[in-house]
Amino acid sequence: MKMLLLGFASRLHGELYYESMFREVTDILSGFKDLEVYQDIVTEPLTIDLGNYDLVIAYLLTGGTSRLAYKVLTGANRKPVLIIAHSKHNSLASALSLRSKLVDAGIRVKLLYFLDRNDLLMKFTLFYKGLVAGYGLKHLRIVEINDYPGISGEGKIFADKFGAEIIHVDYDELWRRAEEASIDDIRELENIVHQYIDLSGTNKQYLDKVLRIYYGLRKLLSIHGANAIVIDCFPLVLKYNVTPCLAVAMMNVEGIPTACENDYYSLISLYTSLALTGYPGWISNPSGITSDGYLRFAHCTIAPILGRKCFLTTHFETGNPYAVVCRFRTDKVLFVRVDKDFNGLTIYRGKVIRSGLLEPGYCRTQLIIDTGILKPEEFVEKATGNHHVFIPWSKGLIESLKHMAWWLNWRVDIRN
């Protein structure tokens, strides 16, 4: 990601004024990686080669600059534009005019308005995080594990859409790598898992088999230089009578977005959660409405760093070892779903009412969610698919998601 910061000013407003304003902002933004500052403030039309940059940041220091900035930004090699404006000297007025002109010219544009230094730093940080998250999708190198002859159709669409690289691995290769684990390797992984999950009551033979899958996933990442995984897990469970639920959970703990059920839509959200919050997301199935009027979500795997009082139990559908059960650690969450065409994001706010292994008849980790003004029936009526990914809430998270969506040219639908 390469960004170029350009300052635009009208000489009518005084050189000392706009130079001091430019220095103040460049001091704040120069600490962000891959941001280059064009040192000369632009006061008259000129040609700047924008070809090597992914984004141009146009800081309108004064009024009377919209036409000037438009001429510079609409030359050869047009790029997406972030306009920065402040509250004085008609900066915002020119910014609004420039935004309108750029939209009419078909250029993707966003406006960031700030009040003071702290406001700019906060807002630009949220923008930058969203930008980097969106840009980073094309740098994913994904191991897709399935029983097909090659990469799934969904994987091919994902690669075409984002430019990510996908390496196909079949179950036999995964199992070969799993079998390479020594007893010492297995004990080492057991110790890692035990830091997060209560392993008392587990069958040692079954646990060792599950840990071999964990070892196999780690090994495949190393061999292929990958940084993400999707795995078609149900055929694997039927073939080997063991689930990858624990392995998937622990890979997400290690900062490797890992999606089960070959779900590339959820992979994006898992990756986004890590990029924006430092924590993995949780893939879940909507599982109905409770008798007291809340939404229920459930799944048989969860990164235990998201939970507390975690333990292992049998997998819901098959009874095979092992599913992961946790109580959710945070009370406030967002849950999101990427649209089927990889062109949009639906966002929901939620409050955790209760969680854990609450009832039989559902996947093992269950989350009961209050969606506030959004009625559970309305969620069910309008949900665009099954899996939704829960992200621990943090201040500014929705703003960063909106910035990411802007960079990807996605629709955003915030439902509550």
How far apart, in Å, do the first and last CA atoms of the chain sit?
Answer: 33
Residue 14: predicted pLDDT: 87
76 falls in which pLDDT band (50, 70, 90)?
A: confident
Residue 319: predicted pLDDT? 83
Q: What pLDDT does 75 receive?
A: 85
Q: Tell me the CA distances in angstroms from 364 to 147, 316, 355, one per residue in order.
A: 26, 6, 10
Q: What mean pLDDT comes out for the span 327-333?
A: 97
pLDDT of 79 reads 95
What pLDDT shows up at residue 29? 95
pLDDT at residue 288, as a whole number: 96
pLDDT above 90 covers a percentage of the chain that reads 97
Over residues 26-66, the pLDDT tens digits come to: 999 989 999 999 999 999 999 999 999 999 999 999 999 99
Dihedral angle computed from the Cα positions of residues 297, 300, 303 and 309, in that order, rounded to the nearest 10 degrees: 90
Asked if 267 contacts 228 with a C-beta cutoff of 8 angstroms, the reply is: yes
Quick: pLDDT tens for 140-194: 999 999 999 999 999 999 999 999 999 999 999 999 999 999 999 999 999 999 9
Cβ atoms within 10 Å, residue 353: 15
Strand order in the sheet with 307-314: 197-198, 307-314, 321-328
Fold of the CATH domain 3-115: Rossmann fold (3.40.50)
pLDDT in tens, 93-120: 999 999 999 999 999 999 999 999 999 9
Q: How confident is the model at residue 13 (pLDDT cuts 50, 70, 90)?
A: confident
Quick check: 230 pLDDT over 90?
yes
d(CA 176, CA 27): 54
Provide mean pLDDT across the span 129-135: 97
Find the radius of gyration of the CA atoms of the chain: 25
Question: Under a CB-based contact definition with an 8 Å cutoff, are residues 337 and 345 in contact?
Answer: yes
Poorest-pLDDT segment among 75-79, 121-125, 385-389: 75-79
Within the chain, which residue ranges are assigned CATH 3.40.50.10940? 3-115
Angle at 103 between CA 100 and CA 106, to 5 degrees: 155
Residue 15: what pLDDT? 92
On average, the pLDDT of the chain sits at 97
Tokens 């036999």 belong to which residue? 172
77: confidence class by pLDDT, cuts 50, 70, 90: confident
What pLDDT score was predicted for residue 135? 96
What is the secondary structure of 274-317 as a DSSP string? HHHHSS--EEEEEEEE-TTS-EEEEES---GGGEEEEEEEE-TT
- Is the pLDDT confidence value at 255 over 90? yes
